[in-house]
């Protein structure tokens, strides 16, 4: 059984034998909700590649300490997978972020596509982004990831085109594309960008901009997936052809 994982701000300089203190909401959840006990083995991570394992030394109302028995440093996974996710309606954005995190995506980029039903503006934008980031954080802990994914600020079509231009491979999911994703060679290193359109679909102009920047327009299969699940299906299909999943 995998050990529970808790997030700390940093593990820089932490070594075997050190005592690490976890405070605030993270500690409250561990102690009050999970009923963490002294002696229980847990893993701490900073979400930036470092993980420390050891037994709980003490617990308090909103604090616990861990005695470090081992420290592991993980390099970022390669190829890096970035998913540009058109903003969907309702809670489907959080669903997309959750499953993308679980499958191993390095970055999720919220995108205001032309046909996005939901619109992020003002306070709604701040709250929605905070929900996406909280979802990614919790899903990363559940998936035991040493590197947590980044959820960026909402971006524009022009900025997505720049991201596409810098990628080792970029694909745009489109149900009318002639090329299947399975036919596209996948690099073993660098950055792979997957662009997922909104409920209303991509416009011809958007597809043209991304293809012009170097992306390949691809289809997954005969079925048309929801925007909240298309990204994870594509990411999984790509990762299955890389050393990361072998």
CATH code of 175's domain: 3.40.1280.10
Pair 74, 146: CB distance under 8 Å: yes
> In terms of residue numbers, what domain contains 121?
80-245
Determine the pLDDT at residue 230: 97
Compute the average pLDDT of residues 99-108: 98
* Cis before 79? omega within 30: yes
Largest CA distance in the chain: 60
The answer to whether residues 9 and 91 belong to one domain is no
Determine the pLDDT at residue 119: 84
- Whether residue 137 is predicted with pLDDT greater than 90 in this model: the reply is yes
- Whether residue 9 is predicted with pLDDT greater than 80 in this model: the reply is yes
Indicate the number of domains in the chain: 2
pLDDT tens-digit series, residues 197-245? 999 899 999 999 999 999 999 999 888 899 999 999 999 999 999 999 9
The answer to whether residues 112 and 212 belong to one domain is yes
CA gap 195, 86 in Å, rounded: 8
- Whether residue 162 is predicted with pLDDT greater than 70 in this model: the reply is yes
Q: Which of 58, 73, 88 is the last residue of a domain?
A: 73
The answer to whether residues 68 and 87 belong to one domain is no
- Whether residue 1 is predicted with pLDDT greater than 80 in this model: the reply is no
> Which helix (H) or strand (E) element contains residue 232?
helix 227-239
With bands split at pLDDT 50, 70 and 90, how would you rate the model's confidence at 42? very high
Determine the pLDDT at residue 47: 97
- Residue with the bigger pLDDT between 117 and 142: it is 142
Rg (CA), the chain: 20
DSSP state of 203: -
15-19, 70-74, 199-203, 216-220: the lowest-pLDDT one? 199-203
CA gap 227, 92 in Å, rounded: 8
Determine the pLDDT at residue 223: 86
């Amino acid at each position: 059984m995998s050990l529970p994982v808790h997030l700390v701000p940093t593990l820089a300089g932490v070594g075997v034998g050190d005592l690490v203190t976890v405070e605030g909401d993270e500690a409250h959840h561990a102690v009050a909700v999970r009923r963490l006990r002294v002696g229980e083995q847990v893993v701490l991570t900073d979400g930036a590649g470092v993980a420390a394992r050891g037994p709980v030394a003490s617990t308090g109302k909103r604090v616990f300490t861990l005695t470090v028995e081992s420290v592991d440093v993980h390099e970022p996974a390669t190829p890096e997978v970035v998913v540009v996710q058109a903003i969907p309606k309702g809670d489907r954005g959080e669903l997309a972020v959750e499953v993308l995190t679980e499958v191993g995506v390095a970055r999720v980029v919220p995108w205001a596509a032309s046909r996005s039903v939901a619109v992020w503006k003002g306070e709604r934008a701040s709250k929605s982004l905070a929900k996406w980031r909280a979802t990614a954080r919790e899903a990363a802990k559940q998936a035991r990831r040493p590197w947590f994914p980044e959820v960026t600020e909402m971006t524009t079509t022009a900025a997505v085109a720049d991201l596409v231009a810098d990628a080792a491979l970029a694909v745009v999911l489109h149900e009318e594309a002639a090329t299947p994703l399975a036919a596209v060679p996948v690099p073993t290193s660098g950055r792979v960008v997957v662009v997922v359109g909104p409920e209303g679909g991509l416009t011809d102009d958007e597809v043209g901009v991304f293809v012009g920047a170097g992306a390949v327009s691809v289809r997954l299969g005969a079925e048309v997936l929801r925007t909240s699940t298309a990204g994870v299906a594509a990411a999984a299909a790509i990762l299955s052809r890389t050393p990361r999943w072998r």
